[in-house]
Structure 1
Amino acid sequence: MKVGVISLGCAKNLVDTEVLLGKLKSSGAVIVSDPKKADVIIINTCSFIEPAKAESIDTILEFAEKKKVIVMGCLVQRYKEELQKEIPEVSAYFGTESWDSILEFLRLKPKEDIKRILTTPKSYAYLKISEGCNRLCSFCAIPIIRGRHRSRPIEEIVEEAKYLADQGVKELCIVSQDTAYYGRDIYGKAHLIKLLQELEKVQGVKWIRLLYLYPTEVEDGLLYYMADSEKVIPYLDIPLQHISTDVLKSMRRGYDENFVRKFLDKVMKVLPHAVLRTTFIVGYPSETAQDFQKLLDFVQEGHFHWVGVFTYYQEENTHAYALGDPIPMQEKENRKEELLRVQKDITYKKNLDLVGKTLDLLVDGFDEELGIVPVGRIYAQAPEVDGITYIEAEKQLKPGEVITVKITQAKDYDLVAQCL
């Protein structure tokens, strides 16, 4: 049986896809990269916000009438009955974490102790440490889709990290819905530092990057640990969502502007070379023009190297749904573009500050256009979401190498470096 798998959505979804690929291959299926050559196509869907739902549905419709299609993941978890009714051409629908049920449907026998098949470059891999979320943010449907927070045992995570290192992975990107909350459910308290201590012992791993840290969960001890760590790099991905206290209160985030400012001051005091990434939502129902201006002014202060911006979409069964959707989409898009335009200049200035510096760089592969220029990332660049560094080198470089470079040029989002 030839199976093609299409993965949509976030890095956490990609890990689920890689687990499925491992199970399929171990059960005798042949994995093909070209869907046209597949007997069966499995689509792992996303339903985070409206554009993600639309992409998932468009992908399903693209293949449903041409091939035997199985649909899995977040969209099915949330809208299975509607999907079965509206797109009956699909052979079967499965929710999240339904790998063995899919194998059973395909009449493939699942095997024990199966390792995931990596789809990322050899240099890095995502390591999912928990599933679900206990937060009650007014705009977010993730707890509805993924359920309550469920941490994986440290021993299980470390075992997977060793497997990844054996595959040549040099950077572990730690992901979950709420990374700093790790361990509270199974150990009775936050255990992220303990987990990091064990991951640092894994031979072959050079960098450990923390993604998706909820602001109020980032304890002082974690910052001090990062400051002393040889492998946990000073990069923090902390989704703030807004700076207006009124908007944050309506969002049910559990903090205000004063907290955010004190928190950022503390981070830079403990980790003066920290790179910060955050995300904001514009067009939230209660966001006034004054609230947006406050957010714009806050971003202009230059705290962040990287900023992602989402326009608000009304999600049924969330607390904010009752607030309606009063801000026109065009106004939301205008706010998003203005915020990104401001941040673009800030990112460029921060990149300029790196010119002349000597840094370690992790080689990912080669440029997408010609496939001949080596590219990689310094610690300030997370895979897929941030910029990349183009490498000028006289010697042959291999993906997964950690090399020393001198930054020679800054672009809007990317860098150019000379291999030393």
Structure 2
Amino acid sequence: MAVFYLLNLGCAKNLVEGEHLAGMLLAEGWLASERPEAADWLIVNTCGFIRPAVDEAIDNILELHDERRPGQRLAVVGCLVGRYGRKLARSLPEADLLVAPGRLGDLPALLAAPPAQRLAIAPPRAIFDAATPRALSTGPGWAYLRLSDGCRHRCHFCTIPAIRGPLRSRPAADILAEAEAVAQSGVVELNLVAQDLSSYGHDRPDGPDLAALLPQIAAVPGVAWVRPLYLHPDVLETRLIRAICQTPGVLPYFDLPLQHLADPVLRAMGRRRTGAQLLALIDEIRAMRPEAVLRGTLLVGHPGEGAAEFTRLMRGVEEIAFDHLGAFAFCPEPGSRSARLPAPSPELAQERLETLMAAQRAISAGKLAAQVGQQLSLLAQGPHPDHPYVRWGRTWRQAPEVDGQTIVTDGDPAPGRIHLCRISASHDYDLEAVAVA
């Protein structure tokens, strides 16, 4: 019986695809191994969005190749193959098989009978649906639910539309069928993901948009928390804000990739809204739900960012006071329009990134300190992987994998269940709590 080892790299959307790949192989009779040395096929599910992700993927591929025993085969799948295609096949002889996103559904057949042509590539058109087997790999009680693939925006720094294709939204009935199946397995928190969640349904005139779909997902039996992730600010409108803020079961959590707040930089990025409009969007959210969580993503060092523009960005970060913030230094990606424009030096971009994150660290510490003494709902995750004598989880204000964690220093809440806890201490990015009976 054939055995596979699967290494997932990159974003949550990639993880969902990896779960489907594993599910399909298991349904075909394969066995999964957590040890590479025990597998017949080593599979690396790659990200190819930015240069650091490309480097990480190549490093992992070469490491698995160097350590593999005779007879083992190596498959490279996903976005890295979709982005570089034939060039990657020529430069990576270590891979026995390379599969682009448009051919991922064929992976079991390709592994069972490897074709003479190592590269399996096609334009990305399909998206895994509720009928596709899926082996969940996330923590107790939570999962990602992918609503669409591809992107309809053309941000000048981004290569996603070239890799993943145009926006393709899943039918609402198919999404709800998967949500019901996942909930029946014990999942109580669904984290909704897409390249741009706020554009869901805009390519399907016969179906609902996200504002109409959210109440249907929240009504799935067993689902307690629905968290929308990655809402493109150029198309986030009042109707969707109201649906997120006012639908029972939908967490008032806004993950906003603003990228910048200075108008010259936003124009160079190909963004439609101005810095003032983005700040007004924040004000609208907070007016509707003052306790709403704001997670931002910012890009420093992009073409058009001089000293004045960076000062404007820093002033905006202080004004908004994000609950959580991810920031990155600009990397000129081949094939993007931004790569052809003059930009600040990588050294200056890194210096600005460190300045920005130092300011956010202080903001985060203050926001978390204000939660001490509050009682918050927490999704318990069991023993802490680094400190097995304590428990941990996430409050409703903390998204998985990106927002920090809550250490439960007193009590033993059941993993995968939502409990009430009292926040007892805070740090720069994490919390401590005691379970409330």
User: Where on the TM-score scale, by shorter chain, does this alignment land: which range?
Assistant: over 0.9
How far the C-alpha of 1:16 sits from its partner, in A, is 0.3
How far the C-alpha of 1:220 sits from its partner, in A, is 1.1
Match of 2:420 in 1: 404
User: Does 2:262 match 1:261?
Assistant: no
Aligned equivalents of 2:89, 2:279: Cα separation in 1:
48
How far the C-alpha of 1:104 sits from its partner, in A, is 1.1
User: Does 2:208 match 1:203?
Assistant: no
Match of 1:8 in 2: 9
8 A contact 2:268–2:303 mirrored in 1? no
Match of 2:157 in 1: 139
User: Does 2:350 match 1:333?
Assistant: yes
Match of 2:124 in 1: none
Q: Which letter maps to 2:330?
A: Y
8 A contact 2:398–2:405 mirrored in 1? yes
Q: Residue 17 of structure 1 aligns to a residue in which SS?
A: helix
Aligned equivalents of 1:36, 1:328: Cα separation in 2:
43
Aligned equivalents of 2:332, 2:86: Cα separation in 1:
20
Q: Which letter maps to 1:412?
A: D
How far the C-alpha of 1:18 sits from its partner, in A, is 0.2
Match of 2:122 in 1: none
How far the C-alpha of 1:302 sits from its partner, in A, is 4.1
Match of 1:381 in 2: 398
Q: Which letter maps to 2:347?
A: Q
Aligned equivalents of 1:282, 1:219: Cα separation in 2:
26
Structure 1 unaligned regions, length at least 5: none
Match of 2:374 in 1: 357
Aligned equivalents of 1:337, 1:163: Cα separation in 2:
43
Q: Residue 43 of structure 2 aligns to a residue in which SS?
A: strand
2:109 to 104, 113, 119: 104
Match of 2:120 in 1: none
Aligned equivalents of 1:78, 1:418: Cα separation in 2:
47
How far the C-alpha of 1:375 sits from its partner, in A, is 0.7
8 A contact 1:223–1:271 mirrored in 2? no
1:1-400 aligned within 5 A:
1-65=2-66, 66=68, 67-107=72-112, 113-187=131-205, 191-324=209-342, 326-394=343-411, 396-400=412-416
Aligned equivalents of 2:410, 2:393: Cα separation in 1:
12
How far the C-alpha of 1:218 sits from its partner, in A, is 1.8
Aligned equivalents of 2:164, 2:302: Cα separation in 1:
23
Q: Residue 259 of structure 2 aligns to a residue in which SS?
A: coil
Aligned equivalents of 1:190, 1:135: Cα separation in 2:
20
TM-score w.r.t. length of structure 1? 0.96
TM-score w.r.t. length of structure 2? 0.92
> Closer, same or farther in 2 for the Cα pair 1:190/1:285, shift >3 Å?
farther
8 A contact 2:214–2:243 mirrored in 1? no
How far the C-alpha of 1:189 sits from its partner, in A, is 7.7
How far the C-alpha of 1:34 sits from its partner, in A, is 1.2
Structure 2 unaligned regions, length at least 5: 114-129
Q: Which moved more, 1:357-366 or 1:339-348?
A: 357-366
Aligned equivalents of 2:75, 2:401: Cα separation in 1:
27
The runs of at least 4 consecutive aligned structure 1 residues that moved more than 3 Å come to: none
**CA offsets 1:187-221 (integer angstroms, 9 cap, x no match):** 26861022112111211111000101011322212
Q: Which letter maps to 1:124?
A: W
**CA offsets 1:221-241 (integer angstroms, 9 cap, x no match):** 222223322210111101000
Aligned equivalents of 1:56, 1:337: Cα separation in 2:
25
How far the C-alpha of 1:100 sits from its partner, in A, is 3.3
How far the C-alpha of 1:181 sits from its partner, in A, is 0.7
User: Does 2:431 match 1:415?
Assistant: yes
How far the C-alpha of 1:397 sits from its partner, in A, is 2.4
Q: Percent identity?
A: 37
Q: Residue 354 of structure 1 aligns to a residue in which SS?
A: coil
Aligned equivalents of 2:243, 2:187: Cα separation in 1:
23
How far the C-alpha of 1:347 sits from its partner, in A, is 0.5
